[in-house]
Amino acid sequence: MDRYRETVALINLNHLYQNYQNVQKLVGNKTIIPVVKANAYGHGAIEVVRYLHERKVDQYAVSLLEEALELRAEFPDIKIMCMGVIEGEGLKIASKNDIVVTISNFDQIQSIPKMKSRLTVHLKVDTGMNRLGFKDLNDIIRAIELLDDNPRIHLEGIFTHFSTADNDKSYYDMQLQKFQDILSRISYPFEQIHISNSSSQIKYETNYDFTTHTRLGISLYGLTLDENMDFLKNTFTLKTKISQFKNLVPGEKVGYGATYSATDHERIGILPIGYADGFIRKNEGGDVEINGKRYLIIGRICMDQMFIKVDDTITKNDDVILMGGIVSIDEVAERLDTINYEIICSITNRVPREYIK
């Protein structure tokens, strides 16, 4: 679509691939499954997959069947795994479209419809997250029997998910131990076994011989839950340009609620971005970057506009970087009292993504 507004999210695919290559060095001969759920964490799943696929990456994970189908329509020959729960008719659609499905509970197994084509599944084991997956060894054994008995089902993989790899090593160790115990008690010849996400992979280098794959999301997007690792490069930069300047005299007020009051002769810039773009009101008081310097966000952030305090050096041609430069995504996450994942996922589709390749 043509763009008539300066606001854009620049996605650096070249950096994304470098992150992939750098993380690959940590994981040795394990195959990385890039996690591209939620539109590749706001980066644009189709573009991310296209770029990686051209570089010989051919297995991906998403959450929803809808996300899987969107990728399948574009890429007939990649492997796509769905990590969320799919039941009944959804399983038939998955089978028809060659989507690998996660089996997390008996309801799903009971809902498997009569199918003409084969359905490939991975079994999800809950080792302590208490979200999706089978918890008890007997249930796991029973689930494997049921799946193995169905000639239409190809039980290809087994996996678990860590809940605390970012902050609690002992809980992580417990989950790992539990998963290994379970594996040692079942003899099924799984072709794919995967346990790690970014933080467990990077922090604990879970390069275990019993695993074959590793599911990585946030690290490919240049972020972690720990202090930013310098081998990861920023992939997401939100920028715009000033659409109008205003000069204020002392005492003049700015924006809804007239919450900001000029104390001096001040120059402010209006930016064409607001909370409808996912740049939420709580960002008031934070910084943006222009020409390598920080400038303050003042007044209430509106639906489509916001205000910054500038100086006489700034022109309409200057890029205003809201995040992904000096003001990092981690800084914005801290400002908003949340994690970097939420920041990149919340920039809405109204902001066009443009790709650096």
Ligand X SMILES: *Cc1c(COP(=O)(O)O)cnc(C)c1O
Q: Which residue has the tokens 């072709």?
A: 191
Catalytic residue among 253, 256, 293, 316: 256
Nearer to ligand X, 199 or 328 (CB): 199
Distance CA 311, CA 52 (A): 42
Nearer to ligand X, 108 or 240 (CB): 108
Q: Among 161, 203, 335, 353, which residue interacts with ligand X (rule: CB under 6 A)?
A: 161
Distance CA 268, CA 252 (A): 12
Closest separation in Å from C-beta 83 to ligand X: 5
Q: Which 3 state secondary structure label does DSSP give 237?
A: strand
30 is a site residue for ligand X (CB under 6 A): no
- 183: Cα within 13 Å, side-chain hemisphere: 22
213 is a site residue for ligand X (CB under 6 A): no
Q: Among 7, 198, 234, 237, which residue interacts with ligand X (rule: CB under 6 A)?
A: 198
83 is a site residue for ligand X (CB under 6 A): yes
Closest separation in Å from C-beta 280 to ligand X: 22
Residues of the chain by 3-state class (helix, strand, coil), percent to 5: 30, 25, 45
175 is a site residue for ligand X (CB under 6 A): no
Q: Among 153, 218, 288, 343, which residue interacts with ligand X (rule: CB under 6 A)?
A: 218
Contacting range for ligand X; rule: CB under 6 A; set: 91-99, 114-122, 214-222, 310-318: 214-222
| Number of neighbouring beta carbons within 10 Å of residue 212 | 15
Closest separation in Å from C-beta 154 to ligand X: 20
Catalytic residue among 17, 30, 37, 341: 37
Nearer to ligand X, 64 or 296 (CB): 64
Which parts of the chain are beta strand (E)? 8-12, 31-34, 59-62, 79-82, 99-103, 119-124, 153-159, 192-194, 213-216, 236-241, 244-248, 253-254, 260-261, 266-271, 287-290, 293-298, 306-310, 319-323, 353-356
| Number of neighbouring beta carbons within 10 Å of residue 239 | 23
Q: Among 216, 273, 323, 329, which residue interacts with ligand X (rule: CB under 6 A)?
A: 216
Distance CA 210, CA 64 (A): 28
CA dihedral 87, 164, 193, 14 (to 10 degrees): 90
Can you read off the two tokens belonging to residue 87?
Answer: 């039941």
Nearer to ligand X, 240 or 340 (CB): 340
Total of chain residues touching ligand X, rule CB under 6 A: 12
42 is a site residue for ligand X (CB under 6 A): no
Nearer to ligand X, 35 or 94 (CB): 35
Residue 256 known to be catalytic: yes
Residue 37 known to be catalytic: yes
Catalytically active residues are: 37, 256
Binding site for ligand X (CB under 6 A): 35, 37, 83, 161, 197-199, 215-219
